[in-house]
Structure 1
Amino acid sequence: MAAAARVDPKQFFSPEEWAPLARRSAWKGPALVAHAWAVIFAAAAMAVVWPITIPLAIAIIGARQLGLAILMHDAAHAALHPNLKVNDWVGNHLTTGDLVAYRPYHLGHHKYAQQPEDPDLGLSAPFPITRTSLRRKIIRDLTGQTYYKLKWSGLVSRLRDRKPGESVWPILKDAVVRRRRFFGGMVVTLALTAPFGLWWVWPVLWLAPQATWLPMITRLRNIAEHACVAQGEPDPLRHARSTHASLLERAFLAPYYVNYHCEHHMFMHVPCYHLPRTQRLLKEKGVLDRMLTAKSYVEVLRLAASKPQPAPIVAAA
């Protein structure tokens, strides 16, 4: 297996420039995690007080759910805190992901970025696709079909295909153990809200964002990062794409600097909050023009959906 080419920071930065970029803050990473949860609670409170804002709250909370996953991703690179034990504890317990399972998988993605062995290659390989195909995917995301397929269809299949006379309880017990965070969060939230008549908070303001907005923006983020990037790309400055994000896009689609993805692949241990500064320095040095970038998410989506529609089949007379 041939690993992807890597970038040596010494190619672009002096030791004085590189040291602050690589430095991990003891408070910035945990502060971003706290920020994500604070926004989630604030959006939920807004929806409880003004139910008309529930659709807006779903989008806000879904974006912060993605934000927590992004911060768990930073922890996978040991970039969330300078103390590895603290880094791993925060990443594994205060975000929404399984850091232990995610880390080896994701580091494999970096090692073989856009190479045949890249475990994420299947996410970018189908592109470009047609507009109709992209529209269908987004509809499946927003209607919960993608969430069901990824999270629950396997359990339903196991229950449906069990042998005659086989008890459902071992299967359900295994499902609860595997999804203990999901069910634990559900039980705790219902216990805290149901006595006040707010039993609907968990399904509407946690599960609904997780099942609709989160899958859609996760797809759009994946498209922006690697869609239409050449397989087997030899240039490490073009293994991933950085996309300019407006204020609204950072709020609802690309939180916590996730849009600086080319810089992240070039220097994967740089904490996310240093990526904007990294890009500015690269721009000053004339490197940015050699990197894979996009001016907006709209530009990337147009590229990803640029495959022509197939010609309609005309029946013979």
Structure 2
Amino acid sequence: MKQPHDLFETGLLRESARERLTAELGSDTIQRLQQRSNIRGGWAVISCWLSIGLLLACSWFAIDLLSYWAIPIVLLCLLFLGGRILALAILTHEGAHRTLLANSKWNDLISHWLCAAPVYLDLAKYRYHHAQHHIHTGTEKDVDLPLIEGFPTTRPSLMRKFIRDLTGQTGVKSLIGLCLMNAEFIRWNVTGVVDKVNHADWHWYHHLRAFFVNSRRTLLFHAGFFAICFSLNLTVVFALWWAAYFFTYPFCIRVRAIAEHAVTERTGDMLRNTRTTQAGLLARALFAPCHVNFHIEHHALVSVPFWQLPELHKLMQEKNITPPPPSYWQVLKLAASAR
């Protein structure tokens, strides 16, 4: 049986994109773009956690020292904290492709504990699930299709989705779903699809054991996080993290998912079933951390690490392989263009 990382390459070789890129850019250029870096990947993780710490500190100081301005400052910090939690999920995605760090053992160790565990993801399960997305992107077998089905929709419908995100409804539903997946009541996925697992001979304690085994890294991480916050009399910081996880992180995920594949062609051609999006400072902070907006480039060459994607984008643009990217605002208008 092929290993998960082999499956990414299998999906890649099904398309003509790599052959075209090799012909247009040259094998030496592609080989250079595929080089990983422990320094670049390590700094991405460190800088993400530094920004998370800064946002949590700003929120705490606003609550502790300010009165009138505390609410808008905390709300603003929670919005950007949702984008930073998304950044951890994107770094998990990078680790799943084994492009976060050059050292494969450290790639998985860092991805497991500092990226996936905090956001309640499982690197191994995500790696296999995400490989299926790359193999079948844009076809009926694409496991991520539920994320983009129903688009384009109407503006009121899109606003209702955002309201559900920002009021915590999506976050609570997602957390319950992840708990049920880890307890192996339903099959693991990242789209919210309920696919029951047939464990007819299982009793409640089998599911309880499965929950703790599959959730162990997240439970250990957040138990340690809470213990540190409690010992320093900073439990509000722990609460702020989970507030962002429930209220703003789902919103950031939704916009990111819409931008990547919604309202694209239903075809196996990765140059037409995927979208690269232009991202300014605000978009990079909220929806496009770690250059995830260069999504055509990522699908075309999955072995290129995130920090090399801007150069690959530039080269592909120079060769007229891809169209000029739209902005996030333009994509959202297209996603809400139904009558």
Which TM-score band applies after superposition, normalised by the shorter structure? 0.7 to 0.9
Structure 2 residue 41 is the aligned partner of structure 1 residue 29: yes
Amino acid at match of 1:102: Y
Distance 1:284 1:35, change over 3 A: same
RMSD: 2.4
Contact 2:260 2:295 (8 Å CA) reproduced: yes
CA distance in 1, matches of 2:206, 2:40: 43
Matched, 1:139 2:163: yes
Question: What does the per-residue CA deviation read over 1:212-241, in whole Å, with 9 as the maximum and x for residues that have no partner?
Answer: 11101101100000001122x143311210
Please say if 1:105 is aligned against 2:129. yes
2:271–2:296: 8 Å Cα contact kept in structure 1?
yes
CA distance in 1, matches of 2:322, 2:94: 23
Aligned mate of 2:174, from 147, 150, 155: 150
TM-superposed deviation, 1:19: 2.4
Moved more, 66-75 or 54-63: 54-63
Q: Which letter maps to 2:91?
A: L
Q: Partners of 2:302 and 2:219 in 1: how far apart?
A: 33
Matches within 5 A, 1:46-85: 46-51=58-63, 52=70, 53-85=73-105
Corresponding residue SS for 2:25: coil
Q: 1:11-26 alignment to 2 at 5 Å?
A: 11-26=23-38
SS at match of 1:16: helix
8 Å CA contact 1:60, 1:251 repeated in 2: yes
Mark the CA change 1:27 to 1:206 in structure 2 (over 3 Å): closer, same or farther: same
Aligned equivalent of 1:296, options 316, 323, 327? 327
SS at match of 1:101: helix
- The answer as to whether partners of 2:137 and 2:268 remain within 8 angstroms in 1 is no
1:40 aligns with 2:52: yes
Whether 1:199 and 2:219 are equivalent positions in the alignment is no
Which SS does the other structure have where 2:115 is aligned?
A: coil
Q: For 2:145, which of 121, 146, 150 is the aligned residue? A: 121
Counterpart-to-counterpart distance in 1, 2:127 and 2:204: 32
Rounded Cα–Cα distance in structure 1 between residues aligned with 2:77 and 2:204: 37
SS of equivalent to 2:320: coil
Provide the residue aligned with 2:198 in structure 1: none
User: What is the TM-score with the length of structure 2 in the denominator?
Assistant: 0.80
Q: Which runs of 5+ in 2 are unaligned?
A: 1-9, 64-69, 184-202
SS of residue paired to 1:118: coil
Aligned 8 A contact 1:294 1:300 in 2? no
CA–CA distance in structure 2, aligned partners of residues 265 and 208 of structure 1: 33
> Number of paired residues?
294
- In the alignment, the residues of structure 2 paired with residue 201 and residue 214 of structure 1 have an alpha-carbon distance, to the nearest angstrom, of 16
In the alignment, the residues of structure 2 paired with residue 257 and residue 155 of structure 1 have an alpha-carbon distance, to the nearest angstrom, of 30
State the percentage of identical aligned residues. 35
Counterpart of 1:296 in structure 2: which amino acid? S
1:287 matched to 2:321? The reply is: yes
Q: Who is 1:274 aligned against?
A: 308
State TM-score, norm by structure 1. 0.85
Q: Which has the larger radius of gyration?
A: 1
Instruction: Measure how far apart 1:171 and its partner are.
Output: 6.0
- Asked if structure 1 preserves the Cα contact closer than 8 Å seen for 2:113 and 2:221, the reply is no
For structure 1, list consecutive stretches of 5 or more residues without a partner in the other structure. Answer: 159-166, 309-317
Listed one character per residue, the Cα deviations across residues 164-197 of structure 1 (whole Å, up to 9, x for unaligned) are xxx9887666544443344333322232222443
Distance 1:229 1:45 in 2: 40
CA distance in 1, matches of 2:108, 2:59: 33
Aligned equivalent of 1:236: 270
CA gap 1:115/1:153 in 2 versus in 1, 3 angstroms: closer
Match of 1:261 among 265, 277, 295: 295
Q: Secondary structure at the match of 1:237?
A: coil
- d(CA) in 2 for partners of 1:216, 1:31: 26
Q: CA 1:218/1:302 → structure 2, altered by over 3 Å: closer, same or farther?
A: same
* SS state at 2:109 partner: helix
Further displaced range: 28-37 or 14-23: 14-23
Distance 2:174 2:126 in 1: 16
SS in 1 for 2:17: coil
